[in-house]
Chains A and B, each alone.
Chain A
Amino acid sequence: MAGPKYPGFDTLALHAGQSPDPATGSRAVPIYQTTSYVFRDTEHAASLFNMERAGHVYSRISNPTVAVLEERMAALEGGVGAIATASGQAALHLAVATLMGAGGHIVASNSLYGGSHNLLGYTLRRFGIDTTFVNPRDLDAWRRAIRPSTRLLFGETLGNPGLDVLDIPAVSAIAHEAKLPLLVDATFTTPYLMKPFDLGADLLYHSATKFLGGHGVAIGGVLVDSGAFDWEASGKFDLLTAPYEGFHGMDFEEESGTRAFLLRARREGARDFGACMAPMTAFHILQGIETLHLRMPRHVETTRKVVGFLEDHSAVQRVIYPELADHPDHALAKKLLPRGSGAVFSFEIKGGRAAGKTFIESLRVFSHLANVGDAKSLVIHPATTTHYRMSDADLARAGITAGTVRLSIGLEDAADLIEDLDRALRASQK
């Protein structure tokens, strides 16, 4: 007898988390543009505030439109639930602040988005949370960096901008051996290309601004919990396993077990830090997710064509993409990313900074801006934009040079993109 069957990814991308609107029958997700929700009576109000009944109180804590996005992302990732946030950075901050306070320590990959590097390396240090950065490929370095005060291991599924493939099975094993969770930034891979929870990650987040939305019209983030990490058994997370006076003495793990992390993140983090997602933003991101399974294969297909073109171009010194045989993570990418290594990659242009400047200014189809994962193709020069606050030494450790150019391949005709690149490359060498 065949076992029961779960809905497929494509179906979940269109339906998970939403029932047709009970008031109007609306098939599309309605935009509940409201701050607050009328209580039936005082008893109902008290029960909602004290978590005795399910429902919405105030849109900073939860909102019906935003909840559809949260449930859909949890379904696509295979998590217990999710919290949508004002941005991907807000999601990272919420994850960290839910797990530790001053005195806490993080071990993080040194191959990170510049904003994440700033948050961990500078800003959180002001609040007493320290981070040790390690080469993500050096598994012993992860292990050696763990201290008694460590509360989290963190990396990107595909590092920025060198596309280091995080060995999630190996790094999560190191984390779990130390009774710690692994958080990954899964923005570059999306749940279509990789399911980090199936590989051993415990928590993940996305900058929903990127491929999830795909249209470049809304900033947002989403933090998802696998529910797999046992906070009580770890013994290192009093924030989740001891009574919290800020919410009626609640012991989040005792209260909800698998939902403890998200419960605290919502009841404390969303309530007090307030970096919530607006309902209109959730609506926009949902429109993107409905076609994620159609867009990602096309992103990857066109990326492969562009990578092949650049590899053979005389103005290009090196192309950095995990599907190329000379990439240090080529074998790992084959194993962890069988559907493709994404649509963001870097290359080194011959001629350094000056050639890079001419190249970018000669492009007509690619847009020069600070984003990735749009339906439109994008280009940026990391050393002067996303990573500009990093020292030369940190840049080198992250695999960036003055000639590094990052491309995000969109959904345009591949031939048009190649023609645009070819013209700009030739201009850069004059």
Chain B
Amino acid sequence: MNVEVDGKRAFAYTAAHEPDAAKPTIVFIHGAGLDHSSFGLQSRYFGYHGWNVLAVDLPGHGRSEGPPLPTIGAMADWILKLVKAPSFAVVGHSMGALISLECALRQPQRVARIALIGVAYPMKVSEPFLDAARRNDHTAYDMETIWGHAARVPLASNPNPGMWMYGDALARLRRLAPGVLHNDLKACNEYAADFSGVKCPVLLVLGKRDVMTPPRSAKGLQEKLPHARSVVVDFSGHLMMTEAPDATLDALIGFLGGKDGSKPA
């Protein structure tokens, strides 16, 4: 679905369904350098189980017009303008998780619950990674690809038959305009907030083998959000939606309620 935000074309995947005011709405926000398709299986599931799905491409990513937005706050404002539903749930991955938190801080009356996949706080990015991205050096794509997956991934089978996870990650990154990955990493690196205003239910989905946002780096966030529940996905790295798609989906269903928008357990 193409819409306009701030005079620019914006895209959100809806799982081939028209918006229905009678259904609850769930927004999926991707991570740095990625796009809506990183939630392929999960967003499709909710779209066919009674939810309005909006899996967005942030500005400058996928099908949404650039330039990319420079801060997590600006990205949150953009989401809050794009989504018209009075109340909605948010699922965010990595940078998208920070945007989800910021949405909950800025409009707590609208954000009903947030699921944060592969999250850390602070989300510090190493200087070599930032520097390679700043120079638009391919090494930055290599770092995101290799560190973005569990170490076993290149020498293991893919849950999605016939697909090569490294190849898919690289192909997506190579489609980015110069500067987009650096923009995103910088936004993550610089993000700081006080989360005491986040009162809605929160789920953290953490990958046991995640080297970009290892479970230990979510501890600070868990302390600031004592009401948050956490699920650790075995055998998965940072890109849980493709590395462990079923476990990730099951965690989301448990938190959001899966069938026909029913209330969560």
Contacts and interface: CB of A to CB of B under 8 A. Distances in A.
Given A81-B163, A256-B37, A257-B62, A52 B44 contact: yes
Nearest to B57: A257
B171 A80 contact: yes
Interface residues of B, number: 43
Given A12-B154, A67-B158, A54 B245 contact: yes
* Overall SS of chain B's interface: helix
A130 B113 CA distance: 55
Contacts of B161: 54-56, 62-64, 66-67, 70
Interface string A1-28: 1011111000110011111000000000
A250 to B, nearest CB: 7
A3 B139 contact: yes
A255 B44 contact: yes
8 contacts: A52-B42, A53-B41, A71-B157, A75-B167, A80-B167, A227-B168, A230-B175, A250-B16
B174 A79 contact: no
Interface of A: 1, 3-7, 11-12, 15-19, 43, 47, 50-56, 62-64, 66-68, 70-71, 74-75, 78-84, 226-228, 230, 232, 243, 248-251, 254-259, 262, 266
B86 to A, nearest CB: 27
5 nearest A-B residue pairs (beta carbon): A227-B171, A74-B164, A70-B162, A52-B45, A62-B161
Contact of A71 (B35, B162, B246): B162
Given A227-B168, A254-B63, 16 more contacts: A4-B143, A4-B146, A7-B154, A7-B155, A18-B157, A52-B48, A55-B159, A64-B161, A66-B162, A75-B154, A75-B166, A81-B168, A228-B175, A257-B37, A258-B168, A259-B37
Nearest to B15: A255
B40 interface: yes
B132 interface: yes
A110 to B, nearest CB: 31
Contacts of A6: 142, 146, 154, 166
Contacts of B156: 15, 17-19
Contacts of B139: 3
Contact of A19 (B42, B48, B157): B157
A256 B62 CA distance: 11
A249 B164 CA distance: 26
Given A54-B159, A259-B37, A3 B143 contact: yes
Contacts of B246: 53-55
Nearest to A232: B63
B143 A81 contact: no
Contacts of A226: 167, 171
Most buried by B among A16, A18, A54, A250: A54
Given A74-B162, A75-B154, A227-B167, A50 B62 contact: no
Interface in B26-57: 35, 37, 40-42, 44-45, 48
A381 to B, nearest CB: 38
Contacts of B170: 78, 227
A226 B168 CA distance: 9
Contacts of A256: 37, 40
B167 A4 contact: no
Given A18-B156, A52-B44, A257 B35 contact: yes
Contacts of A84: 162
A47 B171 CA distance: 27
Given A80-B163, A80-B164, A53 B154 contact: no
Contacts of A83: 162
B249 interface: yes
A250 B44 CA distance: 11
Nearest to A76: B164
A11 B44 CA distance: 35
Nearest to B138: A3
A81 B175 CA distance: 17
Most buried by A among B48, B157, B166: B157
Contacts of B159: 54-55
Nearest to B40: A256
Nearest to B139: A3
Nearest to A248: B16
A105 B13 CA distance: 32
A11 B155 CA distance: 8
B45 A62 contact: no
B168 A259 contact: yes
A67 B16 contact: no
Contact of B162 (A7, A249, A255, A266): A266
Interface string B174-197: 110000000000000000000000
Contacts of A53: 41, 45, 245-246, 249
Most buried by A among B16, B139, B167: B167
B109 interface: no
Nearest to B34: A257
Nearest to A20: B156
